[in-house]
Structure 1
């Protein structure tokens, strides 16, 4: 008996008029028949619907050519069909060397799988039943070094835009069955996959349930990045401060999960979300745990001081020159008067001119190619600053203060918190101009009140400062030695609070020196 394939890969013809497209698109949600689903999908020019016959049995191969791996299709699917004795879906499933296969007649499952990069094989004898084979094309960048959270003595791996690769980076660091992954989707149009990660036996299950419930309650047509989803899950959307920590480092996610937090991986997003978080966590780097605790604590305090300096330095300059010049020492006052002798503007206008110039340079440098942006940031800052001083638009003292404030704002390791710090300077500048130091004090009270009221997934944002929890101070402003990290953070209410075994006595230490 001769074996030959007839009418191989003849594309099915459809008269795709605009009226037909509109009619089918309007009725797509009402389709109850699988054949009608394939007719609707075929209206798109990148949907392939090929017909073939083998050994007297007709079959259809349907897929989106932009989603599948063509080499995989020809090598492991089409090449298997001529070797079969009889054509049926079960035998195809057993013979095709691909694990992710499914036979189903459920329209919703078929549509979802095809849109994720699967091909559908149907037989003429039953066009409502499909063999779905996942051969989705993997087109994306490979794991590379972190760009926003670069570390010198830390692992040089960063998340990418593929959810499976990101899961792999985390599971390599947490090879335990207790690491649970709950997958769901968000976005009525984008159908973005979201994975909620937690460690069973450590995490408070209420936190996991709250995160999943909020994701399921999101009713928005597009979720293109984790930042989109995070803003919809915030306890308070009217705040400058990020309530979810957005990181590109797998080691930070591993540390957060081990503490009892929840992580969210959003497909097509190059970073992962951590919740709940606290304010001080945004000034902590993973390198703090890779060096002795004394320098780690010193650098952490330096970052916190840099943030305070970045917010208050320029407003205090404006307030003192406008209302409280008697606080300036006589020798310094003479220098300031000399530098401002020919400047026609008030300190506020002078400060706003420089601050806005710095922000323009920063935004321009961020949007341009890397090498051009670095050149613009350095050369532009020097040229504009020097020209402004020579032209009498600003004083050299304020130029130094603004430059140091901008430099201090870069110390913040989390980019989104750095943006909040940058914007906070402007209301404080206005308060300093209106009421001087009193205005700065009033705005500081409002800022602290706002931080006290903020919560992240129902947990206090300003913990351990408010509410005051002494046990959590061991890893807040300073990082104490690891032998004091005996318990997990109190605010997370973890099931297992112990981080290390409680030894009855310290191990014996031998003296290596001859006595």
Structure 2
């Protein structure tokens, strides 16, 4: 009987090819296995794979399988502990899979190979939220694992209408992105707009959710965030059930929520867990303190510089005494204190938690007292600046609080130059900007502009639960109606 000639492929040439493709990385590992006059070559990155799966499952499957049942056959795949097995005919295609933690197996008697998912992801467990602390409600936060985050949402929203769509972004390092929404509540146009913006991105890599938000904003030059970023699963659940769209990014514990309204950044799920009157009071308190945070210091500068006749005579005496040793103008004095507050806040945020808190408290007291005694500032202005800083910290969203603090500086300059007229001018420009701003094509100031009474019931204020149940058919807070923007001269 004539022996069949079986072609043999050079495994050494295969090793050389992958070594050059990975630039001779020491993490690239090769292992040869001889089985029934055949040589098998295992190729993988040793830092990304699970050795137990390879040693206890993959190799025994190869050893126990007949020759005709190896590499790509259904019988071989059925003996493996995973269903993520796929044949590959082009070794160039195997490179990206190896970077994802796949094991590539080829033989000296075939030009093809198989890819087996044996990845071992490095991820942390579920922990308590750090950036968004709550008194009531669930305490867990998302992790850097996309599959874990999607599993949490699936457990929270037990509905067949929950849709999760997969996208990939990145020319050099592909990043998986998931679009999550409720099919019966989400605005279809908003979903399509988000998908279109993400799919048309031409970037090397998406490092984090905040980077993606900057790339898909309607107005990338605006200082105000146009997507809510949160690490709380209950916040995402609450928002998705109101018609918003959630965007998950692999390797990021933060989630984007849009279309976002200006008032969404002052909401907290803790408001829902409280009684409706308590929740409404706290929301109004946030609105009031944010407004005072913007105008309180500029109003002080404007009154001291141009409108001192508005100050009661008894208070005017105290102001005169406190400023008698200050050699600077009110605007320069206020800028010094505002910058000092920002330095303390930034230093406290970058230091370890315990050290940062101590440094912020001690630094504020010591620097404030020393500045008054040295004659750099008045004690009344220290109170005003401290109240303004506290007001900006009441916003649940860190990005919105930062935007408010930055907005205070141009308002302060306008107040020092033009007094009360400068403050009015700054507020007008701010209001015009917010009116013209959009989030995924929806007005940024909704439900105030355009006004919608039913949507405002549970956005600006909290309403009793019984009244809210009567409006369950109106829970999509982001209707498809869009107000066309017009130029100012129109």
Shared fold per TM-score greater than 0.5? yes
DSSP-derived class of the 2:104 partner: strand
Task: Give 1:113 deviation, angstroms.
Answer: 2.4
Deviation at 1:42, TM superposition (A): 6.8
> How far, CA to CA, are the matches of 2:328 and 2:133 in structure 1?
41
- More divergent stretch after superposition (446-455 vs 480-489): 480-489
Once residues 290 and 339 of structure 2 are traced to their aligned partners in structure 1, the CA distance between those partners, rounded to angstroms, is: 18
How many equivalent pairs are there? 465
Which of 381, 387, 403 is matched with 1:398 structurally? 381
Q: 1:283 aligns with which of 262, 266, 280?
A: 266
Q: 2:364 aligns with which of 354, 374, 381?
A: 381
CA distance in 1, matches of 2:183, 2:19: 42
RMSD across aligned positions (CA): 2.0
Q: Is the 8 A contact 2:231 2:254 kept in 1?
A: yes
Q: Give the SS at the match of 1:126.
A: coil
Match 1:200 to one of 183, 193, 198? 183
Task: Give the alignment partner of residue 345 of structure 1, picking from 328, 338, 348.
Answer: 328
SS of 1:184's equivalent in the other structure is strand
Deviation at 1:237, TM superposition (A): 0.5
Alignment of 1:336-485 (within 5 A): 336-485=319-468
Mapped partners of 2:134, 2:186: distance in 1: 28
Q: Determine the C-alpha separation between the residues in 2 that align with 1:362 and 1:196.
A: 35
Kept after mapping to 2: 8 A contact 1:198/1:260: yes
Alignment of 1:142-153 (within 5 A): 142-153=125-136
Q: Which residue of 1 aligns with 2:26?
A: 45
Report the CA distance between 1:94 and its aligned residue: 1.4
Partner of 1:269: 252
Residues 116, 488 of structure 1: alpha-carbon distance in 2 compared, 3 angstrom cutoff? farther
Deviation at 1:470, TM superposition (A): 1.7
Tell me the residue number matched to 1:312. Answer: 295
Q: Single out whichever of 169-178 and 376-385 deviates more from structure 2.
A: 169-178
Is 1:122 the counterpart of 2:106 in the alignment? yes
Report what 1:63 is aligned to: 44
Match of 2:478 in 1: 492
TM-superposed CA distance for 1:469, in Å, is 1.6
What does 1:220-231 correspond to in 2, within 5 Å? 220-231=203-214
Which residue does 1:186 correspond to in 2? 169
1: CA distance between counterparts of 2:475 and 2:439? 15
- Report the secondary structure of 2:314's partner residue: helix
Displacement, 1:381?
A: 0.6
**1:260 CA drift (Å):** 1.5
Q: In structure 2, what is the Cα distance between the partners aligned to 1:280 and 1:449?
A: 16
CA distance in 1, matches of 2:342, 2:391: 14
1:74 aligns to 2:60 (yes or no) = no
Cα pair distance change 1:105/1:177, threshold 3 Å: farther
Checking the alignment, whether the CA contact within 8 Å between 1:202 and 1:494 is kept in structure 2 is no
Match of 1:54 in 2: 35
SS at match of 1:449: helix
Maintained 8 Å contact 2:40/2:106: yes
1:468 Cα offset (Å): 1.5
Deviation at 1:109, TM superposition (A): 5.2
1:488, CA displacement in angstroms?
A: 3.4
Q: 1:434 to 1:42 in 2, by over 3 A?
A: closer
**Which one is further off, 38-47 or 227-236?**
38-47
- Residue 58 of structure 1: how far off its partner (Å): 1.4
Which segment is superposed worse, 479-488 or 184-193?
479-488
Q: Distance in 1 between matches of 2:298 and 2:407?
A: 11
Mapped to 2, the partners of 1:102 and 1:436 lie a distance apart of 71
Q: Among 62, 81, 88, which residue is 2:70 paired with?
A: 88
Distance 1:179 1:294, change over 3 A: same
* Contact 1:60-1:123 at 8 Å conserved across structures: yes
How far apart are the structure 2 equivalents of 1:77 and 1:329? 85
Distance in 1, Cα, partners of 2:12 & 2:425: 72
State the alpha-carbon separation in 2 of the partners of residues 12 and 313 from structure 1: 74
Do 2:62 and 2:70's aligned partners in 1 also have CA atoms closer than 8 Å? no
Structure 1: where are the runs of 5+ without partners? 1-10, 17-35, 496-515
Q: Provide, for residues 398-427 of structure 1, a one-character-per-residue CA deviation record: whole Å limited to 9, x for no partner.
A: 001111111111111011111101101100
- Show the 5 A alignment for 1:249-268: 249-268=232-251
Q: Is the Cα contact below 8 Å between 1:190 and 1:224 reproduced in 2?
A: no
Quote how far apart the aligned CAs of 1:385 are: 0.5
Shift of 1:76: 2.3
**CA separation in 2, counterparts of 1:490 and 1:64?**
47
Q: Equivalents in 2 of 1:81, 1:107: separation in Å? A: 20
Would the alpha carbon gap of residues 493 and 46 (structure 1) be closer, same or farther in structure 2, given more than 3 Å must change? same
Runs of 4 or more off by more than 6 Å in structure 1? 13-16
Q: CA deviation at 1:489?
A: 5.0
Q: Secondary structure at the match of 1:156?
A: coil
Quick one: distance in 2 between partners of 1:351 and 1:207?
Answer: 43
Corresponding position of 1:98: 82
Match of 1:294 among 261, 269, 277: 277
